[in-house]
């Protein structure tokens, strides 16, 4: 099987539990392997062939870090890296970087953290990528843009509506 048949998998963070606060990127985050929120470092990984050949890694810097430039400088974070990026943004950068380097793969796979974000999915689609996403069991999937809007008040009495509603109806 040649590399052109491989999948590029963007893997959710691999949290590294930490006790201190000086390691770069350490903050209170969900740690799946512990089943709780605790101090950890997290990174986003990309690999070819379902995690067989790692090709990229990006350390996730939470906003509590990027908002504190002195803390970043003390930890040796380069100035250009002191910008908050969501894990989704890091994954998109890795896909784009792999393509720019001529790395060949047919599709991108990722877990539910990425699969639940419509902006991330639309970005991959705009990049022309074929992808397979894990989604959460209660997540709604639309084949067309649901065109969400906040409806106007029907009676003019009571609180104004604030919750988005879809314009299109489900088709079963």
- Who has greater pLDDT, 34 or 85? 85
The pLDDT value given to residue 169: 62
Q: Map tokens 């006790």 to a residue.
A: 19
The pLDDT value given to residue 3: 43
Measured between alpha carbons, how far is 55 from 137 in angstroms, rounded to an integer? 30
Pairing of strands 36-48, 53-60: antiparallel
Which pair of tokens denotes residue 38? 């605790």
The pLDDT value given to residue 139: 85
Pairing of strands 131-133, 107-110: parallel
Nearest C-alpha neighbor of 7 from the set 58, 59, 63, 46:
46
pLDDT at residue 50 greater than cutoff 80? no
* pTM > 0.75: yes
The pLDDT value given to residue 14: 65
pLDDT at residue 70 greater than cutoff 90? yes
Are 9 and 107 contacting, i.e. CB atoms less than 8 angstroms apart?
no
Are 58 and 44 contacting, i.e. CB atoms less than 8 angstroms apart?
yes
The pLDDT value given to residue 67: 95
Average pLDDT, stretch 49-61? 82
Render pLDDT for 121-146 as a digit per residue (tens, 0 to 9).
999 999 999 998 888 888 887 777 77
Render pLDDT for 6-38 as a digit per residue (tens, 0 to 9).
567 766 666 778 877 788 999 998 887 788 888
Which pair of tokens denotes residue 166? 């879809």
| Cα distances (Å, whole numbers) of residue 76 to 47, 63, 69, 87, 127 | 27, 17, 10, 21, 33
């Amino acid at each position: 099987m040649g590399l052109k048949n491989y999948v590029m998998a963007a893997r959710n963070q691999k949290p590294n539990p930490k006790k201190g606060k000086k390691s770069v990127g350490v903050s209170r985050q969900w740690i799946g392997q512990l089943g709780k929120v605790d101090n950890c470092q997290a990174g986003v990984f990309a690999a070819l062939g379902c995690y067989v050949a790692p090709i990229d890694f990006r350390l996730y810097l939470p906003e509590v870090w990027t908002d504190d430039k002195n803390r970043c400088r003390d930890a040796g974070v380069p100035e250009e890296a002191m910008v908050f990026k969501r894990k989704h943004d890091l994954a998109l950068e890795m896909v784009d970087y792999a393509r720019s380097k001529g790395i060949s793969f047919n599709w991108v796979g990722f877990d539910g953290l990425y699969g639940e974000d419509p902006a991330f999915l639309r970005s991959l689609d705009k990049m022309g990528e074929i992808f397979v996403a894990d989604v959460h069991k209660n997540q709604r999937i639309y084949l067309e843009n649901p065109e969400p809007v906040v409806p106007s008040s029907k009676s003019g009495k009571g609180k104004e509506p604030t919750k988005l509603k879809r314009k299109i109806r489900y088709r079963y």
